[in-house]
Structure 1
């Protein structure tokens, strides 16, 4: 089979805030390890999708549903010679959590979907329907809201009886406190000492535990947060040079090297794509 170029297209919902679709075709591109602030729901359409997530390696074949919780570190690549094709739906917690709560998930802000990969025809159909509404601009607000709630109901039906226990281990709570500190200070020049102090752990013990919990180092996590926030500024039309400066990248080349392994295109290409959509 003749290989095609790697292609990534992003479509933002015109009706719902912070809901985005990625349409991807790839052969020789590999995502670096990263995380999104949104819930990510994907469907493999062709080829095989190989990725690391949840401290395990996965192989997704056509028809499988892939799920990443907010902040869950993952990577991705094509696992075979055939072109990998997939759709990914990104939904911010602010959109999904109220629906999950209404559908029967208690403590939706603490809720984590425990499965990374599923064979669930009903959820798959909802993801693909939602993606097509957004890509083709055929859905109105009511239609998209109803389809999104249908997804939430399906998730609640699968996981409503096994909601996350709100009594987290103390070590997890301390690591989450450090993680929140990073989120709140992404423009600062932080040291390992400052971050580890939030968890009341020695800095190297903290470093080891953080990497075990999140799959990347605190420095990599901070860069990932900056990339996600920078992406939002690019979507808003903020000048590229201002974005580079705001998030502490040494120059555009440095920003390119960090951005492309996460979104499949350069920041300039991403901004042009979003503003012309």
Structure 2
């Protein structure tokens, strides 16, 4: 008997709204998409609407079934792929750390830092229902006051119910300072074609020791982290209206195809699909 062909169509709709200084949204259905290990400047807050997703986050593998909420902290190394034959569909918001910090200041809490969400997968029907309402309003309503008020309330509830203060169990302070210098270099100059030896000389470390320390502190070796820095730079350039061909070169990618490959494996959409919401 011939194998039954899948009729599942992959789709991804990336949106951008101005609420709370700008928040990105994704409504996607994936079957074969396999996200590489990557990180975001912002958080990922999403609901699995169909199927199930399996993903790595914070040193552990997780499974998120239908109806569950996934939480990924800013800068958390993570990936993702289907955990069922039919794939998975989800809706997600990507709030930034500064948006949480702003909310913390406004509600008068003792901790004005951005929160840490210790659980990668949670089951909270009340929060999930509120999330779906907010998502629908952001798409359908042109009432700015309503949109911002509901989004604000959603993020406050998320912080209050599931957020904690971040505790750092990284490397020792001296080593942490050294690898942070390297991280800052890669963030500030993502397009530079720098060698491992040059980075090691920057902080007076053995190159291979630097790789080990860097991966322990940030979850990726320096070369992989450089790609993430380039992708973050790329999203900023796209939002500013730069041409995609120019973005690839400015960010230090070898060519356009290399850029597209890494972008889709990290963002779930092509650069062109991501850009269309900022170039209209």
Q: TM-score range by the shorter chain?
A: 0.7 to 0.9
The CA distance in 2 between the partners of 1:269 and 1:12, in whole Å, is 12
**Across the two proteins, how many residue pairs are aligned to each other?**
273
1:191 aligns with 2:195: yes
Contact 1:35 / 1:74 at 8 angstroms: preserved in 2?
yes
Tell me the equivalent position of 2:124: 120
Q: 1:154 aligns with which of 142, 153, 157?
A: 157
The CA distance in 2 between the partners of 1:147 and 1:66, in whole Å, is 20
SS of match in other structure, 1:81:
coil
Tell me the equivalent position of 1:258: 262
Q: Which shows bigger deviation, 139-148 or 36-45? A: 139-148
Contact 1:47 / 1:61 at 8 angstroms: preserved in 2?
yes
1:59 aligns with 2:29: no
Q: CA deviation at 1:47?
A: 0.1
Contact 1:32 / 1:75 at 8 angstroms: preserved in 2?
yes
TM-score norm. by structure 2 comes to: 0.86
The 1:156/1:235 distance shift into structure 2, 3 A limit, reads closer
Q: Which shows bigger deviation, 180-189 or 149-158? A: 149-158
The CA distance in 2 between the partners of 1:157 and 1:15, in whole Å, is 20
Contact 1:41 / 1:89 at 8 angstroms: preserved in 2?
yes
The CA distance in 2 between the partners of 1:18 and 1:143, in whole Å, is 15
1:235 aligns with 2:211: no
The 1:75/1:164 distance shift into structure 2, 3 A limit, reads closer
1:144 aligns with 2:147: yes
SS of match in other structure, 1:275:
coil
Tell me the equivalent position of 1:164: 166
Q: 2:185 aligns with which of 167, 177, 181?
A: 181
1:38 aligns with 2:42: yes
Describe the superposition over 1:158-183 as per-residue Cα deviations: whole angstroms up to 9, x where unpaired: 356x5235898514454444323321
Q: Which shows bigger deviation, 246-255 or 206-215? A: 206-215
Q: 2:138 aligns with which of 123, 134, 142?
A: 134
Structure 1: unaligned runs, 5 residues or longer: none
The CA distance in 1 between the partners of 2:159 and 2:110, in whole Å, is 6
Q: 1:108 aligns with which of 113, 117, 120?
A: 113
The CA distance in 2 between the partners of 1:167 and 1:212, in whole Å, is 10
Contact 2:190 / 2:252 at 8 angstroms: preserved in 1?
no
The CA distance in 2 between the partners of 1:177 and 1:234, in whole Å, is 27
Q: State the Cα RMSD in Å.
A: 2.6
